[in-house]
Amino acid sequence: MSLKLLAATLNLSITTVSRALDGYGDVAPATRDRVMAAAEAMQYRPNAAARRLRRGSTEVVSLVLPTGPGRFDEPLYLELMSVMGERFAERGYDLTLLAAPPGPDEMKTYRRLVEGRRADGLIVVRTRRQDPRIAYLLGTKMPFVVMGRSDTPGLYPFVDGDGEAAFAAATRDLAALGHRHIAHLAAPAALTYATLRRAGYERAMDELGLPRQVVECDADEQAARAACSELLAGAAPPTAILCATDRMALGVLRAARERGLSVPADLSVVGHDNLPAGAYSDPPLSTMELPLAETGDLLARMLLARIGGAPPDDTMQAIIPIRAVPRGSVAPPR
Amino acid sequence: MSLKLLAATLNLSITTVSRALDGYGDVAPATRDRVMAAAEAMQYRPNAAARRLRRGSTEVVSLVLPTGPGRFDEPLYLELMSVMGERFAERGYDLTLLAAPPGPDEMKTYRRLVEGRRADGLIVVRTRRQDPRIAYLLGTKMPFVVMGRSDTPGLYPFVDGDGEAAFAAATRDLAALGHRHIAHLAAPAALTYATLRRAGYERAMDELGLPRQVVECDADEQAARAACSELLAGAAPPTAILCATDRMALGVLRAARERGLSVPADLSVVGHDNLPAGAYSDPPLSTMELPLAETGDLLARMLLARIGGAPPDDTMQAIIPIRAVPRGSVAPPR
DNA sequence: TTGAAAGCGGTACCAA
DNA sequence: TTGGTACCGCTTTCAA
């Protein structure tokens, strides 16, 4: 079904048909109705490629997931996609997901997207402090929004949770329960969120006059389990561990069990992300959560505005509060 | 950067440049090298829309996730995407993810995809016994592959786990441990997998001469929790529950805890899917797993073949064995 | 109010 | 081995 065919059927020019379908005013109402009816009857759908070529836009927005095979385990981003997808669909955009593991090929994916005009806008997630993706995109005309922050200089829209405040608050909460040995299991410092969360913990510990104890490891269960085993075997093992992520916290739970420690009686554990797995762990994991509905909504709005031509400004930068999700993995120390 | 510009810079025709870039043989090696070098230097990337319009192909393959907002919780499909994404990338295809909750608008998404030529191929997941998506696609020229099966008549490529055999085996395993009251928590019968798994359970129970006990509910934690509470409050509560999915099994774990039952001592629980949450539940959930790497690989191969023009035939239909993942939620009855 | 025609950026046929 | 050119399907001036 092409415009040509539709026009031929109607004995009209493709010009008129096109305008009628786009709802232009300079088309006779009778003609418009006739066209609409025929389009409906013949199940006309405009060819996306032709439309894109002509208009120079793709009606596609892409989110590139920085995770490789087997690590595609972030319900977080799916939840985000679901919220944003709705917003974009309302405006006629497809939200598509691409996978591009960090590494030498990562930038290729972005270049292909940008230079091949494969999307009208991009969503960047899992930001790093020095983020080559942001640096690259700032040098292009491609509208993009960022979930998270970066030290990469430049003005661009972003939405991030206030990880620093949240981790400071969580630290104070643990101290208020009586904990004195509170350790922080930090994610790799190259990730912005890791640095912010760590800073929150450190600030609170300093203010409380408590000695910091930070261990850094990869943000997955295995690495956290190993790091935690070591920590617990040390001279002055902590009575509480504040973990940068839930995946790490799950590893900690396992390490504690392996050492015969009972959580939360012997060890309190707190995570961040509110992963589904945390709700069903033993014990249920106390955690924190970035409101994804709000985040996605803001990001979508910002990106749509940027695509519409609005320049990035500092009203397009939001840091939103992180919500505590208390469950069963926190208690006063013995 | 367009072909035109590149050609002008090189003092060549766009024809020659185009062919040089596509690696055709009828271009002088010297010219080809010159073109390649210039394209590299000028960072030439073909315009995707133009190429698509001309070639009539999109270089895009889409997977439509039949889940709505807040229900975007299937690590399964992400894992699958990751595997398939690699295969497709090797061949120059982008794999994109779209969300289309089942309901009146679901078919609209498919029609838009098909009639707007927005993809060269489709992957259909979460099949139903009567599946309007498959029925529709069979009537179009759009190549597609299915993860799962359907009663919808017609010849199309699919890959599915052998849920019937797996659930029969799991039932026999429970019986071998001494269980006599084995219940099955079934997912809605409209879903093909639900029917197959139930059939496996029923067949095994019949063969064992044990009385069947089937409860059907939605395939999520809440519904399963409620259904299980009722089941456990009944006259002859089961000593083992075989759940159609892990999400349901997690709900059962919770229901058991709420009734003060200890798993696996008082109640054995088995799920299916090998969700991450099951590895960290209390106790760790015994489950089953469809090998996703193999499944994704097969599906990708089949779809690529279909896109390449191969007709669907019965060599493109695979039923693969499901692997048992024993963990801590199964024991002999007290 | 309608239609003719140019052109978006490639690809592929045909001729040179 | 190279170049001219038609054309993919649509949008959008410009003219009628």
Do A20 and A92 lie in a common domain? no
Judge if B207 and B299 occupy the same domain: no
Domain-embedded: residue A331: no
Measuring CA to CA, which residue among A211, A265, A255, A194 is closest to residue A230?
A255
- Non-local (6+) Cβ contacts of B241 within 8 A are B182, B183, B184, B185, B228, B231, B249, B252, B267, B268, B269, B270
In DSSP terms, A123 is beta-bridged to: A63, A145
- Which DSSP string do the residues of B139-164 spell out, in sequence order? TSS--EEEES--SS-S---EEEE-HH
Query: How does pLDDT run across B109-118, given as a tens digit for each residue?
Result: 898 888 888 8
Assigned domain for B334 exists: no
Angle at alpha carbon of residue B205, lines to B200 and B208, rounded to 5°: 125
Half-sphere exposure of residue A252: CA atoms within 13 angstroms, side-chain side: 38
Q: Which nucleotides of D are covered by protein (CB under 7 A)?
A: 1-5, 7-13
Which nucleotide is closest to the Cα of B15 by its C1'? D3
Q: How far apart are CA A315 and CA A306, in angstroms?
A: 12
Residue from B82, B136, B329 to probe the interface with A (highest A Cβ count within 10 Å): B82
- Is residue A236 located within the same domain as residue A94? no
| Residue that finishes a domain, picked among B30, B55, B80 | B55
Which bases along strand C come within 7 Å of a protein CB atom? 1-5, 7-13
- How many structural domains is chain B composed of? 3
Q: What is the pLDDT of residues B113-139, one digit of tens each?
A: 888 888 999 999 999 999 999 999 999
Instruction: Verify that A155 and A177 share a domain, yes or no.
Output: no
Residue A172 forms part of a structural domain: yes
Query: Domain check: are A41 and A29 in the same one?
Result: yes
Q: What is the pLDDT of residues B144-164, one digit of tens each?
A: 999 999 999 999 999 999 999
- Answer yes or no: is pLDDT of B178 > 80: yes
pLDDT in tens, B298-322: 999 999 999 998 999 989 999 999 9
Judged by CB atoms closer than 8 Å, whether chains meet at A94 and B98 is answered as yes
CATH number for A19 = 1.10.260.40
> Could you tell me the CA-to-CA distances from B54 to A50, B51, B57 in Å, in that order?
9, 5, 8
> Does residue B251 carry a pLDDT above 70?
yes
| Contact with chain B for residue A140, Cβ under 8 A | no
Same domain, B26 and B133: no
Whether residues B75 and B29 fall in one domain:
no
- B-chain residues within 8 Å CB-CB of A281? 277, 280-282
Q: How far apart are the first and last CA of chain A?
A: 74
CATH code of the domain in which A146 resides: 3.40.50.2300
Q: Is residue A87 part of a domain?
A: yes
| B70 confidence band (pLDDT: 50, 70, 90) | very low
Q: Are residues A296 and A148 in the same domain?
A: yes
CA distance B247 to A192: 33
Measured CA to CA, the distance from residue A137 to residue A156 in angstroms comes to: 10
B326 lies in a domain?
A: no
Instruction: Read off the pTM.
Output: 0.86
Q: Are residues A65 and A98 in contact, defined by beta-carbon separation less than 8 angstroms?
A: yes
B8, part of any domain: yes
Q: Please state, rounded to an integer, the average pLDDT across all residues of chain B.
A: 91
The answer to whether residues B82 and B28 belong to one domain is no
Note whether B276 contacts A: Cβ–Cβ < 8 A: yes
- Decide: residue A261, CB within 10 A, 0-12 exposed, 13-18 middle, 19+ buried: middle
Q: Which of B:36-55 have CB within 8 Å of A?
A: 43, 45-50, 52-53
pLDDT tens track for B179-230: 999 999 999 999 999 999 999 999 999 999 999 999 999 998 999 999 999 9
- Residue B238: domain span: 163-289
Distance of CA A131 to the CA centre of its chain: 15
- Residue B332 in any domain: the answer is no
Residue stretches of chain A with pLDDT short of 50: 69-72
**Are A138 and A74 within one domain?**
yes
Q: Are strands B158-161 and B121-124 parallel, antiparallel or unpaired?
A: unpaired
Which of A47, A72, A115 minimises the CB distance to B82?
A: A72
B276 contacts A45? CB cut-off 8 A: no
- What is the distance between the alpha carbons of residues A111 and A100, in angstroms, rounded to a whole number? 12
Residue B333 lies in a domain: no
Question: B182 and B272 share a domain?
Answer: yes
Do A169 and A266 sit in the same domain of this protein?
yes
